[in-house]
Chain A
Amino acid sequence: MNHFPLMPILLPSLAGMVMLLPPLAARVRAQRWLAGGVLAALVGVAGLLLHHAANQPQIYALGGWQPPFGIMLLVDRLTALMLAVTAVLAFCACVYSAGKEDGEGPFFYPLYMFQVMGINGAFLTGDIFNLFVFFEVLLISSYALLVHGGGKEKTRAGFQYVTLNLLGSAFFLIALGTLYGTLGSLNMADMAAKVGLLSPAEQAIAKAGGLLLLLVFGLKSALLPLQFWLPHTYAAAPAPVAALFAIMTKVGVYAIYRVFGGIFGSDAGALAHLATPWIWSLAVATIVIGALGTYAAPSLRLLTANMVIVSVGTLLLAFVIDGGQHLSAGLYYLLHSTVTTGALFLIADQIRLQRGTTQDRLVSSKQMRPTGVLGALFVVGAIAAIGLPPLSGFIGKTLLLHSTHRFAEQVWVWPALLLSSFIALIAFSRAGTTLFWQGSAKRSAKAKTRPTQILAIVILLSVTPVLTLFADPIVAYSNGAAKDIRQSMQIVQQTIQEDRSSTHASP
């Protein structure tokens, strides 16, 4: 059996445990090298999985227990794409953290490893209770990482974040209980096969369970009425952690894709496209609120956090446009927006360090030292995030605009996307002029910048031109990934059928 699908979970979890043992426990430098090595290895593993999954989805039965009773991991093109973007982002954020963030507390790298393990596990699993467990793994490490280093701002944001997510977990369990009570299975593909066979009375209960799941994933991904926690949490988090958090909302979005595209997808009979009417209005409203937030944000980090909200709205909108036929555009935009917002959090942190007491607040203060590199990075990041040509944000948004064909959809999608880009353009131009050009004649003291930090930002930002140059093969791949949401469910169902018939035949 090919054991590669397990690696993205196994490697960081082993590394995290080794870091807690005495030989490495007190040596941050060694932990740093181990973390960097493991994350670089994860980039390699993700590349291999991208290659393998292109031919056929891989099913990995943990412990050899066959689905639907055993827990299985599923690697299709969608999973592989998510793993790849996580690995790149985590590697860059780890490089950035070297030397600064990791010195502020003893457990930075072990927590970081467990967080990466949780994110990878959530992407890999094909079992919905296992998804809950991995959500908890990534959440509990994110709680600790968020308050890493301490301080009033972090503690305040931390308590609210923890409370909200614990509430979310309770509702997650209730939703799982409801679905297990009606469907009698927790394997996603098996659930998808059984949803269509429910009696009308059971359908109502399953519908309630499904919509509760939308509530939970909406909370994780910051869909409109549940997005209030996000801006100040992300703005309070240490920079490399905030950059890593850029993928966390996407975990929620990914879960919505899997559950409402796979389980309650087009094969679900009366419950097909259960969440679509909800997501339509809420996604548009999320984009509007996020765009207004970027305009009102008093600091660069809050501005970037609001860009995360805009991107979540856009990604969920891509899921429902034209019945989900054009999700590939959304997946392309997902790759782009994750990397860009991650980079912008790191850039905001660099600017904050250079400006002394004013930090990254958008007020004029002492002139920053001329830092051509930082300015250039900011311009590239801003252009990519807004969606101006020639970078990948432009291509992603054009693909999305192109995918709407019906007038009733165009009326909502076009203004939302175009106006939000326009507002973001104003917000970023204002932020850039205030931060870099306005200021008194006095120069602020130059803060030390580590070359590794600039290197991390450059690597992250260089993904955008790559996405632009190789847009055609990437869109082709993400097209397959979008189809895989439904196809891999069918493939798993076939495997289960074959398995059942073979066990019936053998005795």
Chain B
Amino acid sequence: MELVFAFCVGVLTSCGVYLTLRGRTFTVVVGLTLLSYAANLFLFASGRLVINAAPILGQSEQIADPLPQALVLTAIVIGFAMTAFAIILAMRARTDLGNDHVDGNPPTIENEMRRKERRP
């Protein structure tokens, strides 16, 4: 179980980092979302992974650490609000600047390539 869990966190993190390094705002936002999922899963695992355990004393034979669960809940709420804000800002940037590049103007090579494509 630990191995699968660690693998999931690793894949999510690497995909998230890769996507945030892209040049378009949409992929950046998706990357940030994946990264925050990875962070939440990681934070959840910091209380150790156990099965069939309630985070309350006396409810089950094993007990789970309730603190990471509370932390993850807080982190999810904050991450959700932040992602919503980033999306709105990205849309605003699209209308204000006329393109969806993170720098506000796409690099010239890209423009050149597009011009070549248009030419038959």
B39 and A163 within 8 A (CB)? no
Q: Which of A123-171 contact B (CB under 8 A)?
A: 129, 133, 136, 140, 143-144, 147, 150-152, 155-156, 158-160, 162-163, 166-167, 169-171
Given contacts A163-B32, A166-B36, A166-B82, contact A173 B90 (CB under 8 A): no
CA distance A151 to B95 in the complex (A): 11
Looking at A151, A162, A173, A186, the one whose CB has the most chain B CB atoms below 10 A away is: A173
Residue-by-residue, is A167-198 near B (CB-CB < 8 Å gives 1, otherwise 0)?
Answer: 10111011011101100001000000000000
Contacts of B71 in A (CB 8 A): 129, 176, 180
Chain A interfacial residues counted at CB < 8 A: 30
CA distance A380 to B20 in the complex (A): 43
A163 and B102 within 8 A (CB)? yes
Interface size class on chain B is 35 or more
Contacts of A140 in B (CB 8 A): 81-82, 85
Contacts of B78 in A (CB 8 A): 133, 136, 169
CA distance A140 to B74 in the complex (A): 15
CA distance A136 to B90 in the complex (A): 19
Binding site for B on A (CB under 8 A): 129, 133, 136, 140, 143-144, 147, 150-152, 155-156, 158-160, 162-163, 166-167, 169-171, 173-174, 176-178, 180-181, 186
User: In the assembled complex, how far is the CB of residue B64 from the closest CB belonging to chain A, in whole angstroms?
Assistant: 14
Q: Residue B54 at the A interface, CB < 8 A?
A: no
Stretch at the interface among B42-50, B55-63, B106-114: B42-50
CA distance A149 to B86 in the complex (A): 17
CA distance A181 to B43 in the complex (A): 9
Contacts of B39 in A (CB 8 A): 169-171, 173-174, 177
B32 and A170 within 8 A (CB)? yes
User: In the assembled complex, how far is the CB of residue B2 from the closest CB belonging to chain A, in whole angstroms?
Assistant: 12
User: In the assembled complex, how far is the CB of residue B81 from the closest CB belonging to chain A, in whole angstroms?
Assistant: 7
Residue-by-residue, is B80-109 near A (CB-CB < 8 Å gives 1, otherwise 0)?
Answer: 011101100110110011000011100000
Contacts of B32 in A (CB 8 A): 163, 166-167, 170
User: In the assembled complex, how far is the CB of residue B111 from the closest CB belonging to chain A, in whole angstroms?
Assistant: 18
Q: List 19 A-B contacts (CB under 8 A).
A: A140-B82, A140-B85, A143-B89, A155-B89, A156-B93, A159-B93, A160-B103, A163-B86, A163-B102, A166-B35, A166-B83, A167-B20, A167-B35, A169-B36, A170-B36, A173-B39, A173-B42, A176-B46, A180-B47
User: In the assembled complex, how far is the CB of residue B87 from the closest CB belonging to chain A, in whole angstroms?
Assistant: 10
Given contacts A170-B38, A178-B46, contact A156 B97 (CB under 8 A): yes
B82 and A177 within 8 A (CB)? no
B46 and A180 within 8 A (CB)? yes
Q: Residue B15 at the A interface, CB < 8 A?
A: no
User: In the assembled complex, how far is the CB of residue B19 from the closest CB belonging to chain A, in whole angstroms?
Assistant: 11
Given contacts A136-B78, A140-B81, A173-B40, contact A156 B20 (CB under 8 A): no
B46 and A159 within 8 A (CB)? no
Contacts of A156 in B (CB 8 A): 93, 96-97, 103-104
**Chain B minimum-CB-distance residue to A171:** B39
A177 and B42 within 8 A (CB)? yes
Given contacts A180-B46, A180-B68, contact A143 B25 (CB under 8 A): no
Given contacts A156-B103, A160-B102, contact A147 B40 (CB under 8 A): no
